Structure 1
């Protein structure tokens, strides 16, 4: 057993080295390139809190200055790394039936200075909160799924405020774009790069946008299954609501089909579809409906394909949307996707891109592990691979000297902060006495 694990560790080191090698040319100098590798290792090290301080301490750097410089001022191309990352993922996971999944996530924030932050609804909290929103694209294939693109949502209040934009380093040519527009730009970028993907799927925040997302996808003859709200109106002479249409269907119209495997087995629902004929549009269009057998709750989708598609296939694609939810969960729990403490545009893109690289490593490693499973054991998951990599590779390299050195650095930093604080309080007190 120990020998088998040792072999796996060697493979993981080679695989991560392969990924870092793919992006090496995007760094102007060797120092930031090597530091980026250490940064990714720190993201994989199982830290309870992930930031430049904790990462630098875990990987043996004496202060967090180098990691902070990597995210803010070092010369490297985060978008180029993203493109190379996508190519690396496709090399290991690509298949012709893959799905591009779009969704957004929110990070709760305090204050008003972090780029893009404002009070807005976020599914993370399930309510309106002070938060920063971003849109992601996941590549979901038979062998695995991981993030391949990201865009930060810049609210209109930010887009129209030149002072805040300048302080946060927002590029001059960046204007307001809806989340659907950001999603479309990522989908087009992936497809133009030759990403094999038969379908696109997403929730109703994207399905409701006909002109901004559905129509452009149809123009490219890109098939999609996009959720819509219950009050979505079906195109046609009657312009009826989709939930009213579902209520008219007889019981025999519904079929029990799987939306794909879940943690506890296949996820069965009742499914049906109605053929649509939107005026002036080619291809095949449907209103797809999914009903929970126990609660009767019904979900609705608009579907398009340039070629015929069966009801079981549409149900399977609709069920693939959960992969981005799992990706967000593992990205946050395993690689610190939501733990960034950066305020500027450049730092956010750099942090997020390196997190994506770390997560892609776990996704690819777990895909290879599933192909070589030991009888009597489940295959190695992303969680287990991250745990073993941290314990067997990263922690042994961390020495007592490093621990003591960081203790002294933290106490020195805290002493300076305390001294500065007391000096300001003393100065404020003196000014009050003068008046």
Structure 2
């Protein structure tokens, strides 16, 4: 773990023009890897041992360092070390998905009332498109991020300036942001067996065209109303194609989409070849509810196009959700309290660095720390005397690292930050009271 962290920070060092922000970035990464319950400018500065949050805020907002170059370095680090930990022949999947962060105000870059998966519906917040690198039976990490910015913010010069939007920034859909992430990954030498994503990306014609032009196989979720052209030029929606061609039981096969925490994730699967060469409809059916999920697939000529391979690729989309949950719960991926576009991205980059270090450490230890007992073969089988241990997870790697390094602030540090917070809150309270008096004065007159 120490070696992985040192290696990554050494690789990042040339991207900083001065030593002060470079050292502060290393402290920031270490702080988000800590056991802090909440990660923001104040808590990180206190954990680091600074007297004020100024250095942390300067690192994100004003310091000169190459944010895009840092993301590229983290990407190459994560991909190379996950590949080293993997067994030869295991699939590599690039997973596209977005994740949000709820916000209260309207002054943050990209903030808008929009659909937020983390909120379970429409809410005020920001959304970021991510690319995750998944290596079967090894691990996964986030290797790219692009924030989605609404068109009205880009076209409004006042909002663009106050939120720090780049002058050259043009509006891009989430599918177009995904293309940018993949283009950057390819430039860094990342090679993927498949690209996977949900309906947002399956519906993007530009993204599918980009992947096909690059000879990139994909398995993308699509809606039931997506129209396919089948043999003979017949055009049918996915639902209609299933009703016409997959009515009989023998057309379905029961396969696992991968191993979850509670065992195999088993579904019924079937596929239909379309009129277009190398393109297929992959259908997943829930064994109990009968609920259907549809995937539009492309496999270039010369690559194996089998049902088993497509099922495996479709099943390897779920680890991105684990990356989001781990990133948010354990590393503060969604806990930034900055407003500027570049500052938001810098926070994400530094959290992705911390997540990558723990992910590659867990991947390297995966096979030698897995001592689980043989799986049961009968429902009445007696439990083993020793169930063994599951492999080290990212969460356990983080806990062990923090236990080994130890970090306890002195009483003087704790007292200083207690006074600093209370003074800052008192100042904020005073200004709130003055603002209310101004409002009351205007109403009276």
TM-score of the two chains, using structure 2 as the length reference: 0.90
C-alpha contact 2:140 2:359 (8 A) present in aligned 1:
yes
Instruction: Please state how far the C-alpha of 1:121 moved relative to its aligned partner.
Output: 1.2
Distance 2:215 2:8 in 1: 32
1:132 maps onto 2:126 in alignment: yes
> In 2 relative to 1, CA 270–422 (structure 1 residues): closer, same or farther, beyond 3 Å?
closer
Give, in whole Å, the separation in 1 of the partners of 2:56 and 2:13.
17
Question: 2:267 corresponds to which residue?
Answer: 269
Task: Look up the SS of the partner of 1:294 in the other structure.
Answer: coil
For residue 202 of structure 2, the aligned residue among 201, 207, 214 is 207
**Equivalent residues of 1:59, 1:394 under 8 A apart:** no
* Among 251, 255, 263, the residue aligned to 2:253: 255
Q: 1:88 aligns with which of 77, 81, 84?
A: 77
SS of the residue 1:139 aligns to: strand
- 1:219 is aligned to 213
Map of 1:338 onto structure 2:
334
1:421/1:269 Cα in 2 relative to 1: closer, same or farther (>3 Å)?
closer
Q: Quote the offset at 1:372 in angstroms.
A: 2.6
Distance in 1 (CA, whole Å) between partners of 2:94 and 2:437 is 58
- Tell me the distance in 2 between the aligned counterparts of 1:208 and 1:416: 50
Cα drift, residue 100 of structure 1: 0.4
Q: Summarize the alignment of residues 30-179 of structure 1 with structure 2, pairs less than 5 Å apart.
A: 30-94=19-83, 97-142=91-136, 143-179=138-174
* Contact kept in structure 2, 1:19 and 1:85, CA below 8 Å: yes
Within 2, Cα distance between the matches of 1:128 and 1:413?
33
SS at match of 1:277: coil
SS at match of 2:407: helix
Q: Secondary structure, in 3 states, of the residue corresponding to 1:395? A: coil
TM-score (norm 1): 0.92
The answer on whether the counterparts of 1:226 and 1:301 sit within 8 Å (CA) in structure 2 is yes
Distance across 2 between alignment mates of 1:150 and 1:381: 23
Kept after mapping to 1: 8 A contact 2:282/2:295: yes
**Which blocks of at least 5 consecutive residues in structure 1 are unaligned?**
1-11
| Deviation at residue 394 of structure 1 after TM alignment | 4.3
1:381 lines up with 2:381 in the alignment: no
Residue in structure 2 matching 1:402, options 374, 399, 413: 413
**Equivalent residue of 1:357, what SS?**
helix
The answer as to 2:342 corresponding to 1:350 is no
RMSD, aligned α-carbons: 1.8
Consecutive unaligned residues of structure 2, counting only runs of 5 or more, are 372-387
Seen in structure 2, the aligned counterparts of structure 1 residues 199 and 416 have a Cα distance that, compared at 3 Å, is same
C-alpha separation in 2, matches of 1:58 and 1:288: 49
Residue 3 of structure 2 corresponds to 14
Mean CA deviation greater in 374-383 or 157-166? 374-383
Residue of structure 2 equivalent to 1:365: 361
Instruction: Provide the rounded CA distance (Å) in 2 between the counterparts of 1:323 and 1:296.
Output: 24
Which SS does the other structure have where 1:260 is aligned? strand
Counterparts of 1:402 and 1:213, CA distance in 2: 51
Residue of structure 1 in register with 2:428 after alignment: 417
3-state DSSP of counterpart to 1:227: strand
Paired residues of 1:41 and 1:394 also in contact (CA < 8 A):
no
Q: Is the 8 A contact 2:370 2:392 kept in 1?
A: no
User: Of 295, 302, 305, which residue of structure 1 is paired with 2:296?
Assistant: 302
**Matched-pair contact (CA < 8 Å) for 2:256–2:267:** yes
| Whole-angstrom distance in 1 between the partners of 2:405 and 2:116 | 37
